[in-house]
């Protein structure tokens, strides 16, 4: 199974010595590597626009696994008109009347677009199952049917990339406590975080069942070790680039036209007539 093949190897001893963790990335090394990957994302973007390709990227994982940070660096240098993020909240009463998958299908990419699902239809196999928001028979029906659904999606020509961001118990607790203590992160803390926190092993079982049932050749799962946020972001972007068969487009540098001097005048704004923002810094 692809998910198994992608998991980080377990810690342990070899020849009597403990395996060492990778060295922490220096900020400059991270920034340099990220810039190169973001350049490639721009090349991929142009290819997607030119070919009319449709791409779906699914990001799943426990709370605090790093989905938001990954989305931020993916979108940092690309166009919002090409890369769109879908993060659906709890359905309202009218939306509950729709078929479960309908809300997600309505957000599918059009030609020349990439849609990133910050959590997706796999909510049914994860948070809905663990917190009892849906009946177990519906979860089982979902896991049975989702490979057929994704075969239909990819059969229609959509590139479907599925990433599970994996972190450990101690690291998750550290990140949640940081959200509690840091005023600039407190907005990230949700009631679901607190409901989910005690149910670690319930989520682990839900993850295991989800990966086993929905990892298939049309849309395999890949597990992204995310204890190290910087490495996870770099590895995720590199993986996404490897799953899209893009080609670099030749850029024809345009010749910048001369500005017309017709009707020229002193166009500097008069501080006596307009209000300028007070220079606090």
DSSP conformational letter for 82 = T
- Please name each of the domains of the chain with its CATH number: 26-243 (3.40.50.300)
SS3 at position 14? strand
Please count the CA atoms within 13 angstroms of the CA of 273 that sit on its side-chain side.
Answer: 4
pLDDT at 260: 94
Q: In 16-49, which positions are buried (b, 16+ CB within 10 angstroms) versus exposed (e)?
A: eeeeeeeeebeeeebeebbeebbebbeebbbbbb
The helix-helix angle for 67-75 and 27-51 (nearest 10°) equals 70
pTM of the model: 0.87
List per-residue pLDDT tens for the chain, 281 residues long. 544 444 443 444 444 444 566 788 999 999 999 999 999 999 999 999 999 999 999 999 999 999 999 999 999 999 999 999 999 977 666 666 688 899 999 999 999 999 999 989 999 999 999 999 999 999 999 999 999 999 999 999 999 999 999 999 999 999 999 999 999 989 888 888 888 899 999 999 999 999 999 999 999 999 999 999 999 999 999 999 999 999 998 888 999 999 999 999 999 999 999 999 999 99
pLDDT value of position 20 = 61
117 forms beta bridges with 58, 86
What does the pLDDT read at residue 94? 65
């Amino acid at each position: 199974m692809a998910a198994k093949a992608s998991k980080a190897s377990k810690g342990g001893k070899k020849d009597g010595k403990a395996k060492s963790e990778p060295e922490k990335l220096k900020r400059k090394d991270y920034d340099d590597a990220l810039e190169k990957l973001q350049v490639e994302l721009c090349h991929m973007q142009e290819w997607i626009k030119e070919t009319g390709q449709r791409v779906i990227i699914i990001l799943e994982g426990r709370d605090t696994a790093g989905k938001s940070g990954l989305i931020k660096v993916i979108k940092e240098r690309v166009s919002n008109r090409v890369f769109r993020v879908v993060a659906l909240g709890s359905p309202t009463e009218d939306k509950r009347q729709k078929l479960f998958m309908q809300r997600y299908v309505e957000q599918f990419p059009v030609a020349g677009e990439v849609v990133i699902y910050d959590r997706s239809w796999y909510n049914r196999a994860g948070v809905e199952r663990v917190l009892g928001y849906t009946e177990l028979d519906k979860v089982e029906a979902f896991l049975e049917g989702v490979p057929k659904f994704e075969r239909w999606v990819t059969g229609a020509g959509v590139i479907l990339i599925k990433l599970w961001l994996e972190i450990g118990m101690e690291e998750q607790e550290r990140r949640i406590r940081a959200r509690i203590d840091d005023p600039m992160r407190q907005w990230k803390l949700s009631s679901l975080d607190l409901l989910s926190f005690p149910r670690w092993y319930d989520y682990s079982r839900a993850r295991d069942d989800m990966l086993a049932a929905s990892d298939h050749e049309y849309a395999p799962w890949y597990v992204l070790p995310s204890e190290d946020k910087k490495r996870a972001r770099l590895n995720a972007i590199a993986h996404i680039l490897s799953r899209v068969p893009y080609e670099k487009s030749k850029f024809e540098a345009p010749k910048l036209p001369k500005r017309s001097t017709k009707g020229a005048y002193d166009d500097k704004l008069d501080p006596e007539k307009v209000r300028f923002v007070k220079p606090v810094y």
